[in-house]
Amino acid sequence: MSASQPVDTGLTGSATFLVFSVTRTDSSIQAIRRVLSSIPDITKNISIRDVNANLTCVVGIGSGAWDSLMKLPYPAELHPFPEVRGAKKTAVSTPGDLLFHIRSERRDLCFELERQLIDKLGDTVRLEDQTVGFRYFDARDLLGFVDGTANPVSPSDISDAVMISESDDGSDATAVGGSYVVVQKYLHDLKAWKALSTEQQEAVIGRTKSDNIELEDADDGQQQAHKTLATIEDASGKEHAVLRDNMPFGSPSAGQYGTYFIAYTRHLWVVEKMMERMFLGHPPGLHDRILDFSTPITGSTFFAPSLSNLKALGDEE
Ligand code: HEM
């Protein structure tokens, strides 16, 4: 099995999310390939200054840049983030050729990695979005709920949820050890959210707020809880987990409150099914009420190749 990038690092105190478009000239593609291949070394070089701060960086490649950058067959499911337009809510699709998911307990280490990356990439890329996330109390989102509880925890459950393996049908061998990654940047209407009672908020999420206990699925024909809509079973009744590393971000003085959603998955269809159930509603028309207080302003899909495929980008052609 090919080693994966450090997708399973888990939630840290700080994270930086960078999404770029690439400038498509021969020389910039060559330069970007060299930078991407050196990410593990750059990360190690900075992380050594405080190994306990757990600095990691995962690189994702969008479908539009896959061919020119990777020069490998497309991972079987890789395609651009599909817009999901429901009767009332829309998951927008926005540009993104490269994703850098930088994590550390220390904000300064994330900053330093971003700084060195920007220096090296120069004008080979155009910034689409930069978001700096932080841990909020006991891993709560800015809606006040603990976020990430249902994530797989054991190494084998994580690997089963996120990593493409030799046994996956239709996947080229070069996808093995990689994961699909989906990101969305959400802005919250906290004023409207805070106008709800705690019980109403708990019904929207499907968990209690203070002690994070899962509520029974309601079967009253009304809009279902977020945790119910985001639970996906296949035709055989098997539940498919994904690995979410959402982070709060924002600026109270600018009136900006957000959640940066990021999910790693072995099967892209699982996250896309979650999006459909949330935005179109299940049954259709009854969208996820979290969306009445949360609006996505970005939406992009990437593939995080295995470590060996990433490092091989530095090999001379
Ligand atoms: C569960 C927050 C968007 C997928 C949860 C929970 C919270 C939460 C508080 C319950 C605790 C937990 O298990 O983590 C949010 C916020 C979002 C957001 C604030 C954005 C504004 C999304 C999106 C997806 C998603 C876009 C997928 C497309 C899930 C899944 C679960 C979950 C899979 C676990 C369900 C279960 O098995 O119990 N989310 N979420 N979330 N969310 Fe979200």
Give the pLDDT score at 259: 99
Nearest protein CA to atom 7 of ligand 1, as residue: 147
Nearest protein CA to atom 38 of ligand 1, as residue: 227
Nearest protein CA to atom 1 of ligand 1, as residue: 227
Give the pLDDT score at 172: 74
Q: Is the CB of 149 under 6 A from ligand 1?
A: yes
Long-range contacts of 170-174 (CB under 8 A, 24+ apart): 170/76, 171/75, 171/76, 172/72, 172/73, 172/74, 172/75, 172/76, 174/72, 174/73, 174/75, 174/305, 174/309
Are the CB atoms for 121 and 109 separated by under 8 Å? no
Atom of ligand 1 nearest to the CA of 184: 26
Give the pLDDT score at 4: 96
Are the CB atoms for 289 and 281 separated by under 8 Å? no
Hey, what amino acid is at 305? Answer: P
The list of the chain residues with pLDDT below 70 reads: 1, 169-171, 316-317
Token pair 């498919």 is found at 240
Give the pLDDT score at 83: 98
**Cα separation of 169 and 62, whole Å?**
21
| Annotated catalytic residue 147 | yes
Spot the catalytic one: 147, 160, 172, 219. Answer: 147
Give the pLDDT score at 1: 60
Give the pLDDT score at 171: 62
Dist. CA 267 → ligand 1 center (Å): 17
Q: Is 255 exposed, middle or buried (0-12, 13-18, 19+ CB in 10 A)?
A: exposed
Give the pLDDT score at 167: 80
